[in-house]
Amino acid sequence: MFEILVFATLNGLVTGLLLFMLASGLTLIFSMMGVLNFAHASLYMLGAYFAYSISLYLGFWLGLLIAPLLVGVLGALIERYGLRRVHQHGHVAELVFTFGLAFLIDEAVQFFWGPDTKNYQSPDVLDFPLFTLFGQEFSAYRGFMIGISVLIFIGLYRLLTRSRVGIIIQAAITHPHTVANLGHNVPLIFMAVFGVGSALAGVAGVIAGPVLTTFPGMAAVLGSIVFVIVVIGGLGSLAGALIASLLIGLLQSYAIASNLGVADLLNLLGLEFSRDHPLTDLWTLTLPQIAPILPYLLLILVLIFRPTGLLGNREQ
């Protein structure tokens, strides 16, 4: 039991931090522009595919460097020529635009790379077990994933709170007109933030590709979860996104690790149940089975009881 608990925690941490890498870019974009970017997970997928193609020629490490840059530039272009254009038609148009973009990117990935899973491998340097605990290996690559995520969090946090650019960004979030009047180029800042946010999604894709399988459905698998995190954490709050990511990563990991089910609950209450009952699906429900829908349950509860999210301070 203890070994499962330890590994479930580690797994939850890896998933949570990966989710955070995605959520951080999304929440940054949201706090700047008020846009929930539906295509964010698609950009994450693009990161993985770009890195896969680059790694075929230049190896993993150059892929890690170049792919996020490409995704970042693409993000900036999307902001400049897409979002800025639909912005005048209001928030719904913006959401719908990113929704369509997600659709298009998914199709484009299938067009260029085909529908198969891709053989995108982690680098040989990291192909060793970092440590072995209770007979199970924890690969060095997962350790590397944790490391990168933590670095990104620290970097972002320092950038936003300590640097001049960060101060301008923070000001532009709340008082865009004042910042513009001070002579700063607000549209440029928007474009840059969108680019950086996309690049972060790209990084997440590059490092997640080898462990989570690079295939056209990888955006869909993560897509809505990332929104859930950003909303639960509180729209626009970086710390909230971190907490929510870890919360959801751990929640899912523990749920899968457990063997509890409704049947156990009934036994605990001293109730018997028969398999032929019309509600048998409900009686035989187990926690691992519903693990993937727990985040949505949490989302609805949070939105009903605390619409601002855990650390958010505004309702959009």
Using the minimum distance from each CB to another protein, give the nearer residue, 179 or 208: 208
Q: Is there binding between residue 97 and another protein (CB under 8 A)?
A: yes
Say if residue 223 is exposed, middle or buried (CB neighbours under 10 Å; 0-12, 13-18, 19+).
Answer: buried
The Cα 165–Cα 180 span in angstroms is: 14
Choosing from 59, 147, 187, 292, the residue that interacts with another protein (CB under 8 A) is 292
Q: Residue 229 to residues 26, 75, 172: CA-CA distances in angstroms?
A: 10, 21, 24
Q: Is there binding between residue 22 and another protein (CB under 8 A)?
A: no
Q: How far is the CB of 277 from another protein (least distance, A)?
A: 9
Q: How far is the CB of 211 from another protein (least distance, A)?
A: 7
Is there a contact between 129 and 139 (Cβ–Cβ < 8 Å)?
yes
Q: Is there binding between residue 275 and another protein (CB under 8 A)?
A: no
Q: Is there binding between residue 260 and another protein (CB under 8 A)?
A: no
Q: How far is the CB of 191 from another protein (least distance, A)?
A: 17
Q: Strand 129-133 to strand 136-139: parallel, antiparallel, or no bridges (unpaired)? A: antiparallel
Choosing from 61, 89, 185, 265, the residue that interacts with another protein (CB under 8 A) is 89
Q: Is there binding between residue 132 and another protein (CB under 8 A)?
A: yes
Using the minimum distance from each CB to another protein, give the nearer residue, 179 or 230: 230
Segment 217 to 236, residues that bind another protein, using CB under 8 A: 217, 220-222, 224-225, 227-228, 231, 235
Q: Is there binding between residue 115 and another protein (CB under 8 A)?
A: yes
Choosing from 66, 241, 246, 257, the residue that interacts with another protein (CB under 8 A) is 257
Segment 32 to 51, residues that bind another protein, using CB under 8 A: 36
Is there a contact between 243 and 309 (Cβ–Cβ < 8 Å)?
no
Choosing from 13, 22, 86, 200, the residue that interacts with another protein (CB under 8 A) is 86
Q: How far is the CB of 234 from another protein (least distance, A)?
A: 12
Segment 153 to 212, residues that bind another protein, using CB under 8 A: 211-212
Q: How far is the CB of 35 from another protein (least distance, A)?
A: 10
Q: How far is the CB of 239 from another protein (least distance, A)?
A: 20
Choosing from 23, 28, 64, 101, the residue that interacts with another protein (CB under 8 A) is 101
Is there a contact between 62 and 54 (Cβ–Cβ < 8 Å)?
yes
